[in-house]
């Protein structure tokens, strides 16, 4: 059972990451990376992974953590961790993050 929610944006990013990794490095690597991301989500929800506040200049309230080449962004909804989006380190974090936090789940 998940102790976290995945917003639509986060689900879409997971699909993109899985497809890209599968095409670039094969099924085994894609599954390994996906499993690692899901384990990180669980660790975040259990507060077993570091929670960093999103820098103020990004203009959104929430938290972030890193998993390999991706940043995971979330906020608290009720008492549950809600994963808003995942962004690759080379993506424009500020613009994409602002859009994701403004989008509806």
Structure confidence by residue, pLDDT tens digits, 39-96: 999 999 999 999 999 988 888 899 999 999 999 999 999 989 999 999 988 766 666 6
Q: pTM here?
A: 0.88
pLDDT tens digits along 13-43: 999 999 999 999 999 999 999 999 999 999 9
pLDDT surpasses 60 at 104: no
Domains and CATH numbers, the chain: 4-102 (3.30.2310.20)
| Residue 33: count of CB within 10 angstroms of its CB | 20
Q: Band of the pLDDT at 97, cuts 50, 70, 90?
A: low
């Amino acid at each position: 059972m998940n102790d976290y929610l995945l917003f639509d944006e986060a689900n879409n990013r997971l699909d993109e990451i899985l497809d890209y990794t599968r095409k670039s490095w094969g099924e085994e690597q894609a599954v390994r990376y996906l499993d690692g991301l899901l384990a990180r989500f669980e660790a975040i929800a259990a507060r077993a992974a570091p929670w960093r506040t999103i820098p103020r200049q990004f203009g959104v309230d929430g938290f972030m953590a890193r998993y390999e080449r991706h940043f995971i962004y979330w906020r608290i909804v009720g008492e549950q961790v809600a994963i808003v989006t995942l962004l690759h380190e080379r993506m424009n974090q500020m613009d994409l993050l602002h859009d994701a936090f403004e989008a509806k789940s």
